[in-house]
A and B are shown apart, each in its own frame.
Chain A
Amino acid sequence: MASSNSPSKSFGALAEFDGAASLVSACEKVRDAKYRKWDAHSPFPIHGIEDAMGIPPSKLGYVVFVVGLTGASAGLLLQWWTNAVDYPFIISGKPLFSWQAFVPVCFELMVLFSAFACFFGMLHFNKLPQLYHSLFRSERFERVTDDKFFISIESADPRFDEVKTVQFLKDIGATHVELVEE
């Protein structure tokens, strides 16, 4: 039976900031304090925040590269099988396997596969679709789409401590800090 004054399990701490500049400088300090499971929330994209947060370059490019090459190979294989093996048919006197004619289809399939890899890979790396998030419990967090900036540190982080982390967030310029339930 959960008591009313202590949350059953906390998701983490949510700190509120007034401006983009104070958010970025706070991010640098959270990064330097070696927190791993945390995120910054802002109503608009902020230049240079990846550096401030210490986010490494996205791995998405490598996924797209491999899948794109797969698409090009699939296009070549498809045309080779259909035109030269399964149903040989001479078209304007060209050889059955005419790579020149196959290039556009290979190219298009590469683009198609790459686009899918890029779109779904992006969703995957962003952990989307996600219908519910614990931070939505916070009423103050609603203003993240309007005029407020937030940093959330999850309790799953090994360095997380209910007292110390809250104090830390206050020290780095948060105007308000709260604990959010799972």
Chain B
Amino acid sequence: MPAPTTLSYLVVAALVFVIGAVGVMVRRNPLIMFMCIELMLNAVNLSFVALARELTDIDGQSIVFFVLVVAAAEVVVGLGIIVAIMRNRSSLTADDLAELKG
């Protein structure tokens, strides 16, 4: 049975990235939109690791390490903003934040 090629890993990563991108475009709940952003980050991480093995270069894995840290910081700040906004509101959709006032 053949081992999966780097190409197949990249195609799976592209598929998950596209699902995440469509999710950001379709869903209105900011929490779900954040989860879709996490999906896209993970897809890119997977392609980095697959290419790191293909090119036998550890730098790909180092970059994934940094992406993990930045993703954690991004989620912390994003959820903090959502909590701060939601304190004065009852519903949670991105459309409610369209007006330019606090």
Co-assembled chains A and B: no
Binding site for A on B (CB under 8 A): none
- Residue positions of A touching B, CB distance < 8 A: none
